[in-house]
Structure 1
Amino acid sequence: MLRPNAVRAALTAGDAVHGLFCAIPAPALVEMIGCAGYDFVILDSEHTGVDPQELENLIRAAEAVDLTPFVRVPEADPGAILRALDAGAMGVVVPHVRTAADLAAAVRAARYAPEGMRSLNGGRVPGFGRLDLGEYLARANAEIMVVAMIEDAGAVEALGEILAVPGLDLVLEGAADLSQSYGVPWQTRHPVVRRALTEIADRCDEHGVPFCAIPRTPDDHRDWAARGVRAFVLGEERGIAARALRAHREAHRLEEDP
């Protein structure tokens, strides 16, 4: 059933929030992320194949440990936005927002009238009838977040128009795809990419829209925090797990190992 959005409340209060991308569709893993103390998880349905029932169970796992669930949907897919929100996501992360029109379409799909035209539905989010449907519509519009990923050079140029679209709640950087867009693939620390990230953060400040950074090192994290950034995605669970597994094996590698 629809809950208050703890991430929205924390950002409104000026508090910091920390999350992870999650690409492995395993409820136990989502529970671990919550039990590790993260505030939110971004369940990835852009780069992974997650069926609707799986997604619903991943969201249930997040709810069980008071972890705010967001879903990264495939690019320009209003149907995916609808299904993610009907499953119980507290927000959608929309990749490759390049223009104000892209964002306006996402807001339209994510909000009920008069703010949008999200298709009406009952089901688990209004508690199978426990919430009055009129009350539910108003609460959903107030709690659900629309997060735009800025990960294209053209989007940086169109940032003023994008940030002016009503209904935008958070901007998430996408340094990896930005690097490719600028012709320096995977060079996320390249000066042109870093300048773009700084410009995105500055423009968000000017428009009063929270900016979410993806720090690659603890120093990056400290630098963004010193600039006043309060939302952070600290990587993806696959990379964290792979590094931990390699480090664990190395710690136990015996001299006689080939």
Structure 2
Amino acid sequence: MPAPTNNFKAAIARGEKQIGLWLALASAYSAEIAGSAGFDWLLIDGEHAPNDLPLISAQIAALNASPSHPVVRVPIGETWIIKQVLDAGAQTILVPMVETAEHAQQLVRAMKYPPEGMRGVGAMLARASNFGRITDYLTTANDEVCLLLQAESRAAIDALDEIAAVDGVDGIFIGPSDLAADMGFLGRPTAPEVQSVIEDGLKRIIKSGKAAGILTGDPSLAQRYLELGASFVAVGTDVTLFTQATATLAARFKDRPEAPPAGY
């Protein structure tokens, strides 16, 4: 029995649009709810959300029966955390702050078993192989893992063509907020100067033959990026959705507490 097919990897390789949502509430329960909302992929954030490995593992498990593909953003691009997240059952990993082709090559090796890479052989103890029940996991896993790299600095943009040329990199994701900060537009990712660099970056990624991705909560920008050819676009975050919905509901009742809406 081979490793499970990574349908997300196959879809972005074909250039199919994959619409995603960022998960930062650090909750398997909320991840399970998002899993049946209709998104193609869900990003479990290990960089800026309060997620440790057990919480990440619990969210991967919660999404197992879901049609949404779990993508895990690790906190840092190092071999040890990639190994643990892969063994926990993730097939697709997003690595932040990649600025050189050399770093990209190291990350490719971290994702794959020898002789192609240096992933430690311990998945028989973990969810990745269904605890040893996927008998051919070790010989088939390399084909199904998916590596996405974040370009989110001027250095990364300068090296974008070299990073995209690295074999084993499946997609490159532009991080608008950090890129804006590095360009001198802290908190202003929609500044025209930043958007110009983002659009050029997306075009370069697509020209390289790799999948391009990005996150934005602005529907018009999301549509623009899709029109440019971005394959995997996250269109919001669970934190923002919850913040806005709770604030709206509270204000609705506080403004007119005498007339609650029907059905409540």
Letter aligned with residue 197 of structure 1: I
Separation (CA, whole Å) in 2 of partners of 1:184 and 1:95:
19
In the TM superposition, what is the alpha-carbon distance from 1:55 to its structure 2 partner? 1.9
In the TM superposition, what is the alpha-carbon distance from 1:252 to its structure 2 partner? 2.6
- Cα RMSD between the aligned structures? 1.8
Matched residue, 1:35 = 36
Letter aligned with residue 224 of structure 2: D
In the TM superposition, what is the alpha-carbon distance from 1:212 to its structure 2 partner? 0.8
**Change in CA separation of 1:59 and 1:173 when aligned onto 2, cut-off 3 Å:** same
Matched residue, 1:114 = 115
Matched residue, 1:239 = 240
Separation (CA, whole Å) in 2 of partners of 1:45 and 1:53:
11
TM-score normalized by the length of structure 2:
0.90
Contact residue 73 and residue 95 of structure 2 kept, 8 A: yes
Separation (CA, whole Å) in 2 of partners of 1:178 and 1:214:
12
Contact residue 89 and residue 128 of structure 2 kept, 8 A: yes
In the TM superposition, what is the alpha-carbon distance from 1:2 to its structure 2 partner? 4.5
Matched residue, 2:100 = 99
Separation (CA, whole Å) in 2 of partners of 1:255 and 1:172:
44
**Change in CA separation of 1:80 and 1:197 when aligned onto 2, cut-off 3 Å:** same
Separation (CA, whole Å) in 2 of partners of 1:191 and 1:251:
35
In the TM superposition, what is the alpha-carbon distance from 1:255 to its structure 2 partner? 4.7
Letter aligned with residue 12 of structure 1: A
Matched residue, 1:10 = 11
Separation (CA, whole Å) in 2 of partners of 1:55 and 1:218:
28
Instruction: Look up the SS of the partner of 2:85 in the other structure.
Output: helix
Separation (CA, whole Å) in 2 of partners of 1:255 and 1:48:
35
Matched residue, 1:127 = 130
Instruction: Look up the SS of the partner of 2:61 in the other structure.
Output: helix
In the TM superposition, what is the alpha-carbon distance from 1:186 to its structure 2 partner? 1.0
Separation (CA, whole Å) in 1 of partners of 2:199 and 2:33:
32
Letter aligned with residue 25 of structure 1: A
1:209 to 2:213 alignment: no
Contact residue 23 and residue 31 of structure 2 kept, 8 A: yes
* Count of residue pairs the alignment pairs up: 255
In the TM superposition, what is the alpha-carbon distance from 1:66 to its structure 2 partner? 2.9
Contact residue 68 and residue 90 of structure 1 kept, 8 A: no
Separation (CA, whole Å) in 2 of partners of 1:198 and 1:165:
21
TM-score normalized by the length of structure 1:
0.92
Separation (CA, whole Å) in 1 of partners of 2:257 and 2:226:
46
Instruction: Look up the SS of the partner of 2:129 in the other structure.
Output: coil
Contact residue 44 and residue 71 of structure 2 kept, 8 A: yes
Separation (CA, whole Å) in 2 of partners of 1:15 and 1:187:
29
Instruction: Look up the SS of the partner of 1:125 in the other structure.
Output: helix
Instruction: Look up the SS of the partner of 1:243 in the other structure.
Output: helix
**Change in CA separation of 1:225 and 1:49 when aligned onto 2, cut-off 3 Å:** closer
| Runs of 4+ residues deviating >6 angstroms | none
Separation (CA, whole Å) in 2 of partners of 1:2 and 1:57:
20
In the TM superposition, what is the alpha-carbon distance from 1:228 to its structure 2 partner? 2.4
Deviations 1:203-254 (A, max 9, x none): 1122100101223322112222222223111122111110111122223333
Unpaired runs of at least 5, structure 1: none
In the TM superposition, what is the alpha-carbon distance from 1:256 to its structure 2 partner? 7.3
Letter aligned with residue 229 of structure 2: G
Separation (CA, whole Å) in 2 of partners of 1:254 and 1:159:
51
Separation (CA, whole Å) in 2 of partners of 1:213 and 1:52:
24
Unpaired runs of at least 5, structure 2: 259-264
Contact residue 219 and residue 235 of structure 2 kept, 8 A: no
Separation (CA, whole Å) in 1 of partners of 2:254 and 2:56:
38
Contact residue 28 and residue 61 of structure 1 kept, 8 A: yes
Contact residue 38 and residue 67 of structure 2 kept, 8 A: no
Matched residue, 2:261 = none
Instruction: Look up the SS of the partner of 1:253 in the other structure.
Output: helix
